[in-house]
Amino acid sequence: MDYARLFRLDGRVAVVIGAGSGIGRSAARALAAHGAHVVAADLNEAAAGETAALIGQAGGRAEAESVDIGREEDVRRLFAAVGSHHPSLDVVVTTPSINVRKPVLAYTAGDLDRVLAVNLKGTFYVLREAGRRMAEQGRGSIIAFSSIRAQVVEPGQSVYSATKAGTVQLVRALAAELGPRGVRANAIAPGVVDTPLTRPITQNPAWRQAYADRTVLGRWASPDEIAGAVVFLASEAGSYVTGSLLFVDGGWTAVDGRFVPPL
């Protein structure tokens, strides 16, 4: 075992969906820094191109693609394009999510469809297409993004939380089905991360501080602090990890309540 190379990804092809910003951009840059050829895919192709350019400027290899994971045919097109340009598909990371913060009684059918289309159906499309190609070649690592909301909820987070719990179960089922064919599937559950998705919270000082105080570390994460978990699960360092949910949440789910008792 060459322990010094456990995290290296030289010669591997990694597709990162949601690579145009936030956690996806950090994940793409981290995978490239460890040697992967990255396909940076995003609904915003210009943003994906910016990520690919950043990777190139750092000496890595990357290209940009557009994809709307809420559209089944678009996901199929993406993986067909990757297959036509690359001999293998070694890593797939999918990060996109949307959230409509409303009480259950105020949720409309349109709200429900909008969140389900991206968070659950879109994730399913990616897992299915990536799984098909990796099963054929007999290897690969699939990483989907869940959330602490798969385990703990708050008012206004009903459908988002349900989709994140659903993502975990999709990943576990895929891991069980494709493990015998050499494919690993895992999920990552971030806590509070400063990204475009969380901007409505971070722009409210009281709300931002309340969430920071809820963590053991007393602060929010940057997207770069999630990238290490992606590299771990993508690489040989995580070769015996599949069907797992990895929390990267600053201790949020480890503690019970906000009150600190006198000890």
- For the stretch 81-91, pLDDT in tens is 999 999 999 99
**pTM recorded for the entire structure:** 0.96
Give the max Cα distance, the chain: 62
Residue 90 near residue 38, CB atoms below 8 Å: no
Report, as an integer, the average pLDDT of 230-237: 98
pLDDT, tens digit, 9 for 90 and up, residues 126-138? 999 999 999 999 9
Domains identified in the chain and CATH numbers: 9-247 (3.40.50.720)
pLDDT at 58: 98
In three-state secondary structure terms, 154 is coil
* Catalytic choice (3, 107, 125, 160): 160
Assess whether 240 carries a catalytic annotation: no
Selection from 49, 9, 6 nearest residue 32 by Cα: 9
pLDDT, tens digit, 9 for 90 and up, residues 187-216? 999 999 998 878 888 999 999 999 999 999
Residue 13 near residue 88, CB atoms below 8 Å: yes
Count Cβ neighbours within 10 Å for each residue of 44-55 and write b for 16 or more, e otherwise. eeebbbbbbebb
Distances (CA, A) of 126 to 122, 139, 158: 6, 16, 23
